[in-house]
Structure 1
Amino acid sequence: MPGRMPVAVLFAVHGAANGSFATRIPWIRDRLDLDPGLLGLALLAPAAGALLAMPPAGALVHRRDGRRVTGALIGAFAIALTLPALAPSYALLWLALLIFGAVAGGADVAMNTQAVAVEERAGRSIMSGMHGAWSVGGMAGSLLGVLAAHAGLDARIHLGAMAVVLLVVSRAAARRLPDAAATGAGAGGAAARAHADPPRLARPSRPVLIIGVVGFGAVFAEGASADWSAVYLRDVVGASPATAAAAYTGFAAAMALARLVGDRVIARVGPVATVRAGGALAALGALLVVVARTPLAAVPGFALIGLGIATVVPLAFAAAGRAVPHAGQGIAAVATIAYGAGLAAPGIIGAIASAASLPAAFAIVATLCVGFGLGAGALRPAAHGR
């Protein structure tokens, strides 16, 4: 299928950058001697950056060459991976995370717009598989992070080396992205500009808002698990640094597996039933995390969260792409609601942990998982045909 492999590689690069960063959060916290409240506040910075970057990114991929925009943003994200570990103070850490979140959010919108275009050309669901590639990348990045943490490797060296590798891979994949004629309107190329004006920043429609709210619950659980799983095992369970880093690996592995088979499951039972079952599994996993006091209970709990939320965001993006004339416009709106607000999850978790406890914070995660399961009807394809 033209364009599928290079887009999948870019998803994997994006995931590997996130996975690498997640495993070194405890190192960054220890280096700057941050308490849960300060760490949580710092982890609000990526959300702020993403909120600023996502809406213009959705318009940019339509107004400019989508391939170049996507390649540039993914490359910038790889470079930004080095910034948090280099920050010598709390103020500079906040700035580094703001930049990190901005390029991550813009790259996310761009690569998902490319994926929707390839999906439309194929005429069948591939979005879950694309996000599966993201999860595989996240798992690979986190595994390398576990090894680096176990070896006591300085995070500045580890993340710097990862940035170089991911930059080289992303540049090679971006050069193989299909041109505008191959991808059509969804990629924001010449075909889109010939038939309609590119989308501008606008208030999302009601269907897009509902889809975004469903996605928000899943992304909140993802952000909470990704950024706090290692800290949870260190502080609540008393695990070693290497074992604590493995919590994110289990989460990412379960999410990758579910996404790689997700397109088949969706084809068999439909998106609504898939998301409802996922909500139940994720809520069960969050509750297991709440009561866990050993790694043998906590790691499977995070894995169940990953398994349950796996297909929600791919289905939300696919529904958003059908809800408006331009896929990029719908994706940018849903990404801003779900990812922008969901990226605030680490900060919110930190605030609750500071006021109460980390187990109490993950009780909120369980509640939100139940919520997105109940709202699964918004992703029904018949409701959002273009």
Structure 2
Amino acid sequence: MKSLQLILSNPRYFAPAFVFTSLNIWFGTWAIYIPSVKEKLQIDKADLGIAIFFLSLGVFTVFPIASKIINKIGVGRATWFGVVFNSVLALFPLIAPNYYSLCIALFLFGACNGLTDIAMNTLVTEIEKEDKQNFMSAAHGFFSLGGVIVGLGSFLIPLIGSPFLHMLITVILVLIINVFLKKRYYHITAAPVEKEPFSLKLFKPLLVLGIIGFVSMGSEGGIIDWSALYLKEVVLAPEALIGSGFLAFSAMMTFGRFLGDGISQRIGSIKLVALGAFIAIIGYVLVLSENSILAIVGFALNGLGFSVMVPELFRIGGNVKGVESSQGVAFIAGTGYSGFLLGPVILGFLAEGFTLKTSFWALLGCAALVLFLTIVLNTKKTT
């Protein structure tokens, strides 16, 4: 909890952490109004799926050029510009007059989300290097906190009565807070790195990190999308407990991220990722027991295990020797986000072709793969 105390007591650390919170508030507020947009534009689920694909397409489009933009204008300025443009672009999907304008609005919103994601993770990496303080994991905890704020804000929906007005109020409040905080990071630029010419030796640690990111975020996405159905159809849990798996997963995810930095300082990033994978393996064993209480405890352990993986991957990726921090972070973000999107789809095919329980056996195998890869990384001593 030292990193949480650090963030809450020092504006230098709170300012970038609040950008993490902001990103999830913008995205989450849009997400809760997806049914309203679908109804307003009178589109079916297939059309809605394509529109949401444009959101993902925007994210992926910006990944290859994000590091160049960040290095060109400075990581602090890139983060601030991301805040400003997200504040504007978050409004457009809710006022899109037709389906095609919705797709365009979501593409632009996704692109800005992707750039801000890479910029803010690079910013935290640079501050950690300058101050020799770890707070990446806690910053990701603040991202999770943004989702909690959105959930609480959803109770205001009947009172406000307008998706656009709700988003406008949200955007204004979040932007005002960021305006007061931007001076804490606006001037920060990435420290120059002595770049090495491309070689397989240089790329190999990034490739291993990318695979871990793909697998771990794919597993995270799979649990988010399939845990309730698993409890209902496989475990045959009581109706009242069907949502408990996701709740336990999310709560422990947030809790674990506030603990991660202190543990990382003691044992190192790679060992912490390995520990997270080991905890996740135990969680999957409990989930596969098909006992309601044990399965829910298992999902909680999954949340605890996965909570530290992604923040530590960003930290490792931003410190790979011979690679600019923004490039390392962009690579991890790209592979990880690919897994987050494709993981639930792959699990869906497995569930359809075999059984839903087979999908969770596959997730257990993924956690074991992450544990193996961290052992490989540790022998390479990339950090």
TM-score normalised over the length of structure 1: 0.75
Change (3 A) 1:380 1:166: farther
Counterpart of 1:207?
Answer: 205
- Give the one of 303, 308, 314 matched to 1:306: 303
Q: Tell me if the contact between 1:116 and 1:318 (Cα under 8 Å) persists in the aligned partners.
A: yes
Counterpart of 1:183?
Answer: none
Counterpart of 1:142?
Answer: 151
Q: CA deviation at 1:329?
A: 1.6
After TM superposition, list the pairs within 5 Å mapping 1:340-351 onto structure 2. 340-345=338-343, 348=346
- Give the one of 153, 161, 169 matched to 1:161: 169
Larger RCO (CA within 8 A; separation ≥ 6)? 1
Alpha-carbon distance in structure 2 between the residues aligned to 1:151 and 1:290: 42
Counterpart of 1:320?
Answer: 317
- Give the one of 10, 21, 29 matched to 1:12: 21
Counterpart of 2:185?
Answer: 177
Q: Tell me if the contact between 2:222 and 2:347 (Cα under 8 Å) persists in the aligned partners.
A: yes
1:13-34 deviation per Cα after TM superposition (whole angstroms, max 9, x unaligned): 1233344445555665677564
Q: CA deviation at 1:317?
A: 1.3
After TM superposition, list the pairs within 5 Å mapping 1:70-89 onto structure 2. 70-87=79-96
- Give the one of 253, 256, 259 matched to 1:258: 256
TM-score normalised over the length of structure 2: 0.76
Q: One-letter code of the match for 2:313?
A: A
- Give the one of 337, 340, 345 matched to 1:339: 337
* 1:47 matches 2:50: no
Q: One-letter code of the match for 1:163?
A: V
Change (3 A) 1:290 1:43: farther
SS at match of 2:126: helix
Q: One-letter code of the match for 1:16?
A: I
Q: One-letter code of the match for 1:212?
A: G
Alpha-carbon distance in structure 1 between the residues aligned to 2:225 and 2:106: 13
Q: Tell me if the contact between 1:139 and 1:253 (Cα under 8 Å) persists in the aligned partners.
A: no
Q: One-letter code of the match for 1:279?
A: A
Q: Tell me if the contact between 1:47 and 1:342 (Cα under 8 Å) persists in the aligned partners.
A: no
After TM superposition, list the pairs within 5 Å mapping 1:370-385 onto structure 2. 370-377=368-375, 380=378, 383-385=381-383
Change (3 A) 1:156 1:280: farther
Q: One-letter code of the match for 1:275?
A: V
Q: CA deviation at 1:284?
A: 5.5
Q: CA deviation at 1:7?
A: 1.1
Matched residues, percent identical? Answer: 27
Change (3 A) 1:168 1:366: farther
1:286-339 deviation per Cα after TM superposition (whole angstroms, max 9, x unaligned): 677788898x88876654433221111111111112214421121112212222
Alpha-carbon distance in structure 2 between the residues aligned to 1:16 and 1:342: 19
After TM superposition, list the pairs within 5 Å mapping 1:103-114 onto structure 2. 103-114=112-123
Change (3 A) 1:132 1:18: same
Structure 2: give runs of 5+ residues left out of the alignment: 1-9
RMSD: 4.4
Alpha-carbon distance in structure 2 between the residues aligned to 1:238 and 1:150: 32
Aligned residue pair count: 370
1:169-227 deviation per Cα after TM superposition (whole angstroms, max 9, x unaligned): 333322321524xxxxxx33xx63xx768999xx9812111111111122223334456
Alpha-carbon distance in structure 1 between the residues aligned to 2:241 and 2:95: 24
Q: Tell me if the contact between 1:211 and 1:378 (Cα under 8 Å) persists in the aligned partners.
A: no
Which stretch of the first structure deviates more once superposed, 171-180 or 309-318? 171-180
Structure 1: give runs of 5+ residues left out of the alignment: 181-186
Counterpart of 2:4?
Answer: none
1:241-272 deviation per Cα after TM superposition (whole angstroms, max 9, x unaligned): x9998876654432121011111222344434
* 1:123 matches 2:132: yes
Alpha-carbon distance in structure 1 between the residues aligned to 2:15 and 2:116: 14
Alpha-carbon distance in structure 2 between the residues aligned to 1:222 and 1:239: 24
Alpha-carbon distance in structure 1 between the residues aligned to 2:381 and 2:294: 40
SS at match of 1:323: coil
Alpha-carbon distance in structure 2 between the residues aligned to 1:308 and 1:314: 12
Q: CA deviation at 1:42?
A: 4.7
Alpha-carbon distance in structure 1 between the residues aligned to 2:50 and 2:352: 11
Q: CA deviation at 1:379?
A: 5.2
* 1:69 matches 2:78: yes
Q: One-letter code of the match for 1:172?
A: F
Change (3 A) 1:71 1:292: farther
